Amino acid sequence: MKFLFILSLFFSVNGFAQAELFVDPEEPAEFPGGFVALNRFIADNMVYPQTAMELGISGKCYVKFDVDTIGVCSNFKVVKGVPDCPECDLEAVRLLKMMPKWKPGLLEGKPISMPYRVVVRFNLN
């Protein structure tokens, strides 16, 4: 019985320790300089995978991540990758992990943690 209580206390404490993510903020999180600056950052820092170039692979990689209350991005996950190009998916995540701190989302005037999704396009043209 004592073990069960300790186990339930452990799960309760862990539940309170996790940050809450908001999906519908008053102001969404934003890359410094906005959408145009984010696109410029991606274009300037992308290293097109050699295999993808050799095989003529293009496509879109959808990556989701969290932006916390101080603008730090974490928990990157490929939601839908470039078909037949895991190297492109790895490059998209590598690239997004390099981003500077974002302006966090706001709810009732206070910074909040929130999920965000970015599409990284791989085009040979």
Q: Within 13 Å, how many C-alpha atoms sit on residue 32's CB side?
A: 9
pLDDT in tens, 71-112: 999 999 999 999 999 999 999 999 999 999 999 999 999 999
Give the DSSP H or E segment for 112. Answer: strand 110-112
pTM over 0.85, yes/no: no
Please tell us whether the domain made up of 20-122 is placed in CATH 3.30.2420. yes
C-alpha span between 26 and 111 (Å, rounded): 10
Helix (H, G, I), strand (E, B) or coil at 26: coil
Q: Could you count the other beta carbons within 10 Å of the beta carbon of residue 38?
A: 17
Indicate the domain borders of the chain: 20-122
Q: Which residue has the tokens 């790895």?
A: 90
